[in-house]
Structure 1
Amino acid sequence: MPFPADPARYSAALAGGRNMLLLSHLRLVALLGQLVTILVVRFGLNISLPLGPMIAVVAALAGLNIWSLVFLARGGTVTNRGLFLALLVDFAALTAQFYMSGGATNPFAPIGLLQIVIGAVLLEAWSSWVLLVLHSIAFGLLSLYHRPLALPEGYASAISPVQLFASWVNFVLVAVLLVFFVTRISRNLRQRDASIARMQQQAAEEDHIVRMGLLASGAAHELGTPLSSLSVILGDWRKQPALAADPEEIAEMQAAVARCKDIVGGILYAAGEARGEDLERTTLRHFLVAVTTTWSAQRPGLLTLDDKLDPDPEVVVDRTLAQILTNILENAAEAEASRIEMNVRISEGIIDLTVTDDGVGFPPAMLETIGQPYRSSKDRRGAGLGLFLAVNVLRKLGGTVAVRNGAVRGAVVTLMVPLAALTPEPS
């Protein structure tokens, strides 16, 4: 089977194929059992049966089984609908066999419970309940309408209508309980598997962050020394008479080196941890104003800040959170936005910070992979790490990141952070 773009669909299709293969194997066992039982009853016990029609049903099921195996061998995709239709054919064949061999009085009639259990395990919940209803109706009708078995003397026995009704009630009761508990168990197992998959993905992402952090630390260490040397050299140049006549150019170079040193320090943000160093005790409004003012200095007139902070809480922040906001604003600007709005409020102890722009928005395929590394519409090396790191940093703070496109145009990025995660400890 070719690997599709959506791994979840691929996994579901792969599971459907395996379930259909398992169902084909079980059907083969059932066919052999039916054939042996028919022949033993007809020729061993000398009980009259409509041999031709009953063998024809077995042959039809064998044909279905062969078609299923060929379909799977050719890489066919199996969904819940395919499994449901296959079990409906099995149900119809089993009902036909019982109709021709005594109906509900046939001692093998309760074997329909096996199909109900198989359906509860393999199918979605609604399909399992539909199969249960069909089997229950068929069992009741077979009690009234069937071809009576002409049993020879010594085998015949009379079953009262009350006993048949009790058998039907017993069948329905057992079937309902089986479907109820088996579907519950299957759902719990699927939830457990999904939880394990999420934890494995989170562990892989955190391992990726650790490796990025180690690389960033090494780069910061290597670049720190030459940048410090450049800073000292530029300080000496300001004292040289030949260069003192143009101090502005030296000042620009010093500012550029200082900016590079600040970037090197910010590289450690790639580790994805809110670091314990360079913490700043401030208020939330003051922090947001500082971040937006710094960013707006390079892109004036593009960003507006609307805060509904009353009162303005005291927080402890570091450059990690500032870098997250800067990355989000930078993404909006690079998406051809002509207007960016940052709205922040606090509701029930949660900081709700939303950045809205009127740019081109996110491609639909990206919305399904937000938070995964290197998923970006930008064609440059290293793109796609901003939201990935934001998701992981906020996750460690107990927060979340939600991303969607606007109703008409642009994108909306919402950060939800518990205020308690940024509240300073009392002195």
Structure 2
Amino acid sequence: MITTPDATLQFGPSSRRLRLQTLVWLRWLAVAGQSLTVILVDFWLEFPLPFTTCAALIGALAVANFVLSASFPPTYRLEPLAAFAVLSLDLLQLAALLYITGGLANPFAPLICVPVIISFASQPLRHAVALFILAVLFVSALAFSPYPLPWYGGDAPFLQPIMQVGVWVAITSMMAFAAFYAYRVSQEATLLADALSATELVLQREKHLSQLDGLAAAAAHELGTPLATISLVAKEMERELGQDERFGEDVQLLRSQSERCRDILKRIATLPSESEAHMRRLPLSSLIEEVLAPHREFGIKLELVEKSDRAREPVGVRNAGILYGLGNLIENAVDFAREKVVVTVEHDASRVVVTIEDDGVGYSPDVMQRIGEPYVTSRQRDDKAGGLGLGLFIAKTLLERSGARLRFENRGPETPGARVEIIWPRNRMESNPA
């Protein structure tokens, strides 16, 4: 019942390399911004500025960007080491530009954080940390810049040493905080995207099982015509060679086997019309029994309590997501239970409720706060209780897609164990598609 994604599928940061086109566009934006700033400072404000050197640095960035654009297709994705090299070059160019225009006194000095933030949002941690260290070294070098800030009449503001230290601390701390924030957000987004991909894969596999009868019918239909031709030829051969001592028995065998194949294909072709309604329409009691059946042989007692009359139970359409989701929750309950798991089913005119209870240790407080997130590794902090991560996230996601609300809680101090309550509006339970 419970399946996992193929090991060959790539999940995690390694499967999300930075696209070169993204860096190219960011670089062109940097070139435009730096050019506009230098032109305004030199020609409009008429501040003394090493214009030629600034233009050379900006031009070098533009040339490097043009070379990258011409050498690789727009969809090319950079390896982590290549991305580190590109971002390091951006960092060096910006630091050099700031160094000759006042160092830490330059109001644009905090922009040195941008390449670091990009790295922490998209690159492996070791490369991002290396770039952060490099940025801290560049910021430290800016504090010793001998070049004054471009200002009126050359009388540039002078930063006292204590102010230099303050600016250095401000930029470094801002860079560290922004980098950490970008890394955490990126990691959570990556985990969520991977978990949803695994969810789609599981649901797709479950749906394939329900489509086998249709595929069999299609195969029977396609094979019918060539088999009819074979049968016709076999009859003609039998008429001509039926009494032949060498080939008579073989021809009769060929015809009998072709007739047998026709009978088999006829039964397969009628399978959907005979059993599709039975397979697709599933009463609630049959659904629960189908989910419980694979877990009865693990030494844990499975007790089913039906509080409502079966005569008025909902009858819905077979839903692979519901079957997988309930199966995963029951499997978790069996894994954590000491002796018994109780599944309680009740329904009325407005809702359907399935409650799964085990007599294990229950959920620890830290896990209870994060239940249903991808890769919550265990119920207990010491990791002795077993896995409770991606599978539970997939189950929760699939059940919520079917219209259910889930509530996870502990049973109480007198009756230890965990309880999961799944509640559907009755109309959603009766009309869910497969």
**TM-score for the superposition, normalised by structure 1:** 0.48
Larger relative contact order (Cα-Cα within 8 Å, sequence gap ≥ 6): 2
